[in-house]
Amino acid sequence: MFYQGVKKALPVAIGYLPIAITFGVVASSAGIPARMIVLMSLMVFAGASQFVAVNLIASGAGILGIIITIFFVNLRHILMSATTSEKLKKQSKGWLALISFGITDESFSIIATDPREDLPRAYVFGLITVPYIAWVSGTAAGVLIGESLPALLESSMEIALYAMFVGLLIPEIKRSNSKLKVVTLAVFISSALSWSPFFNLSEGWIITITTLVSAIFAARFIKVEGDRVGK
Amino acid sequence: MANSYYLIIIIGMALVTYIPRMFPLVILSDLELTAFWRRFLYYIPPAALSALIFPGILGATDSSIIAVIGGIVAAIMAYLKFNLLTIVLSAIAAVFLFQYLI
């Protein structure tokens, strides 16, 4: 079962490598000490948050401001973790507290779209361990490569995180017409929140509000097609 | 900057990242959800991924147009069912190529 989880997570782990390497490169070019960059990947293990934090550190933001912004960037994990709990009903509290550390946008997508009702412990453990190892070792590799990388390649690598999100989203909407409607709605809301002169929200807030509002609206008004959820 | 500056930020980040991940998983696993909340959770992945992608992707490279091209390449590769690594590397290659040419 552990190996089944490892196998399922392998493409994610391999996909993490260029992103983690990018993170190492970007963070060291921002002047953060090598040990601290690797420590951040070890302790935080969250791609989007770490990129945002490096941006903020580079722009000279205060400690409290950085931590509060990261909190808002992470609020979406409350929703993801809540979704994950549906698939992990029969696990002990201590175990859940441990594996929750490994819930990322990617492992969450795999768990949430698994057709099984209840997921085995060893499977989930395998699923989160491999990407974690890839994330930390990729970061270290990026730090080592550091600034010897040509600037043009360095800036091209920043698309990696988004390419991964797109790669997770497309299979979702291919399977379900109702999810495509939610995507349309979410893009509309986040554009409105980002560009309308009436709001002045940080990126973290925009992500959280968009996710909440579009999922509540969809749960109320959009029928689930071709799936047994919520019928 | 002193190491303690980074240490405080990292420890703070670790806390505000771990708590939102841990709390619902440990608490909600006891609850039986109604159909509405199950639908709500069903719609969270596409909603969250969309919000993460757009409009953030526009600032991923110096030129928004090239970033969008990278996103479209990723979308096409994903539609054709390539694996995540191929998707990510194709997008990087496309962005690199366009930045090099322009």
Q: How far is A117 from chain B (nearest CA, A)?
A: 13
Query: What integer pLDDT is reported at residue A227 of this predicted model?
Result: 56
pLDDT higher at B67 or B24: B67
Task: Report the 10 Å Cβ neighbour count for B39.
Answer: 23
Q: What is the mean pLDDT of chain A?
A: 86
The DSSP call for residue A227 is S
| Nearest residue in chain B measured CA to CA from A34 | B3
Say whether pLDDT at A7 is over 60. Answer: yes
Residue B84 CA: distances (Å) to CA of A109, A149, B48: 13, 23, 18
Is residue B31 assigned to a domain? no
In-domain check, residue B27: no
Predicted ipTM of the assembly: 0.86
**Residue B71 lies in domain:** 50-101
Question: Is the pLDDT score of A79 beyond 90?
Answer: no
Which tens digits make up the pLDDT trace of A27-43?
888 889 999 999 999 99
| C-alpha to C-alpha distance for A159 and B57, rounded to whole angstroms | 7
Please say if the pLDDT value at position A228 is more than 70: no
Please report, to the nearest 10 degrees, the dihedral formed by the alpha carbons of residues A113, A118, A120, A123 taken in order. 0
- In this prediction, residue A71 has a pLDDT band, given cuts at 50, 70 and 90, of confident
Three-state DSSP state, A31: coil
Looking at per-residue pLDDT, the higher value among B58 and A117 belongs to B58
CB atoms within 10 A of CB A196: 10
- Going from N- to C-terminal start, the domains of chain A cover 2-157, 176-231
Average pLDDT on A225-229 reads 58
- pLDDT-based confidence at B29, cuts 50/70/90? low
For A182, counting Cβ atoms within 10 Å of its Cβ (0-12 exposed, 13-18 middle, 19+ buried), the class is: buried
Whether A231 has a pLDDT exceeding 50, the answer reads no
Token look-up 């689930």 returns: A224
Q: How far apart are the first and last CA of chain B?
A: 37
Residue A196 sits at the chain B interface (C-beta within 8 Å): no
> Looking at the predicted structure, is the pLDDT value of residue A217 above 70?
yes
Residues near B27 by beta carbon (within 8 Å), at least 6 away in sequence: none
Q: What is the pLDDT of residue A226?
A: 58
Domain assignment of residue B39, yes or no: no
The answer to whether the CB atoms of B74 and A18 lie below 8 A apart is no
The verdict on residue B61 lying in a domain is yes
In the block, tokens 């939610």 appear at A182
For A102-114, the pLDDT digits (tens) are 988 888 888 888 8
pLDDT of residue A230: 44
Are the Cβ atoms of B17 and A179 closer than 8 angstroms? no
CA nearest B95 in A: which residue?
Answer: A156
Residue B90 forms part of a structural domain: yes
Which tokens sit at A61?
């933001």
How many beta carbons lie within 10 A of that of residue B83, not counting itself? Answer: 15
User: What number is the average pLDDT over the span A158-170?
Assistant: 86
- How far from B75 is each of A85, A157, A216, B89, CA to CA, in Å? 29, 17, 26, 13
- Read off the pLDDT of each residue in B51-73 and give the average, rounded to a whole number: 91
* A167/B contact by beta carbon, under 8 A: yes
Query: Cβ of A195: how many Cβ atoms within 10 Å?
Result: 9
- Chain B residues with CB inside 8 Å of A85's CB? 24-25, 28-29
CA distance A144 to chain B (A): 19
Query: Nearest chain B Cα to A202, which residue?
Result: B56
Number of other residues whose CB lies within 10 A of the CB of residue B69: 18
